[in-house]
Structure 1
Amino acid sequence: MGPPSDLQIHVLVVVPEGAGSQAGVTVSPSVEAIGEIVNKVFDDREKKLTVYSLSDLDSEHQEKMSKKMRLADEYMAIAEPTPSSNASIPPYTWLDVPEAQSTEETPLFATTHLKGVLDENGLSLLDVTKDISVLSISDPRLPFGMKGTTDVLLVDIRSIQHIEPLAGVRMVVKLKKKVERRHKAQAFGELVAASMKAPMDCTPIGLLTDLTDQWHFSWFNEKKVLTHLRIVHPKNAFDFIAKAVVEPASSKPFRVPFIGRELTKFKIDDFLPMPDDGADEMMERYELMADVVEPEFLMARRMDYARQLVQSMPMYADLYK
């Protein structure tokens, strides 16, 4: 700008700090403000790297996962019939030994009463208590990682042929001598891990049970809806399993005689696909090239990446509009 002429009047206006928006002037965030935001983003990302044992999950962890995946809960109420005396299945009698040792005998009980459906569909029950990482998972759709296993998997022939427990998983079974409320969060975590890790044409359901009068089934009956069903009688529970596990693929309806509505199974991939991590992958490549690229170039890419992270946060997105 050249020197002012006699007919020009230049006015210097000092805008008080924080008054930019009131004066209709857009004030860009300071470097310090961006730094604080970026640090918060990376702190949040670091927290997501936290890994919890499946056996330690509680209702708070379950709530965080449900909110992250935007799940709704449906609790079914049914008029469960009482089986006739000649068709009734007596409850399982737990051995008077530590629970971990006692659960080794329980698959035989289930195999006996599911023999027809197992043989007809080429299914089997796998004890995976010693496969300590079968359900371990780190996934961007979850607020934290999880590690651990479950007690029993109901699987098809694919799991046996490929020596891969989850290759043909149909049901995840958590066994407890005494079912308590806190166990539900653990069973939920196991179902989520199995659903996310299961391959194509595998849509597992979850079961938390004491093999007596506590049979808590859960599955994704609708997209983003986790359905819960409690059954009391072992005979009815085995009848439900027989209908629910026959079809491995998702979106296939099935019916259970004593439930007056059609049911469906979904896996998490059906309604919550894996997000595109293109920016993360590109930034990782730049970091690996740190020794051969100019420091200024790398710093600029880091700032671009940080800006994308900040912009992805709803509370800060308006800063870059």
Structure 2
Amino acid sequence: MVRNEHKQNKYNKKLRKRKVSEAGKAWLFLLPSFLGVIFFVLLPFADVIRRSFCEAMSSRFVGLSNYRLVLHNAAFLLAVKNTGRFLLTCIPLLLAVSFLLSLLLYYQKKHTEFFKTSFLLPMAIPVASVVLLWRLLFHENGLINVLLLHLGKDKIDFMNTSKAFLVLGFSYLWKNTGYNVILWLTGLNGISVNLYEAAGVDGAGFFAKLRYITLPQLLPSVYVITILSFVNSFKVFREAYLVAGDYPHESIYMLQHLFNNWFVNLDVQKMSAAAVMCVVIFVILILLFKKIDRDGED
């Protein structure tokens, strides 16, 4: 018994040493990336937080006056309003459309690979080509207006009226739907077929299976897809900027336009305060999404 205990203790010591050694190698492997994040992300953002409480030129501490200045800025309020409207309109629409398309592909089974490739093509098209296409379609003398004139209708100035928001939303949906379809299909393929077969034996129809099997099983995927859709929504600024410039129609004046214009004008104190507020809001949204995801799993 004593020998066995001695051998066991010796084995446990070796195992602990091996784990410590493996952990040390892992940290050594991660060290360059960790240092990069500290020096190029965390420290610069810490300086942004410091600058948000100071004057830009003299670095004199001014408390919350920069935040009050930003919150009373008409351009900031317009950008926040438009960005919030875009997120609350386009992200749910994108999730719904991509989910319905993924269901069609999942159940019809024919030519699935062809459709997957077709849906992903918009992501492979360069931004400059997309911008050229939008100008050909939505310009005042573009293809759509030429068609409207042939039909005896009036021209629509898409980019200089409230219709610009529809163009921007369409661009976001067109470019990201395919990517979300692939993500939904991954979640659907992870659901056991036995669950559907058992439900079919019990007499469950399509909508019953969708409600009691498909949707609950897809809840873990909803969090990931929503976050990715949220992140990709900020990339639509490239098209908006290249099509409409620094100061587009007020319906599509986003936070990205605001920060770009403040950067050009070197309004450092405004940028710093607004950046801190946006990051705080972003973190709160992430935590809310996580809580909703955990509640759904429970």
Higher-helix-fraction structure = 2
> Which TM-score applies when normalising by structure 1?
0.19
Higher-strand-fraction structure = 1
**Max Rg structure:** 1
User: Comparing both chains, which one has the higher relative contact order based on Cα–Cα distances under 8 Å and sequence gaps of 6 or more?
Assistant: 2
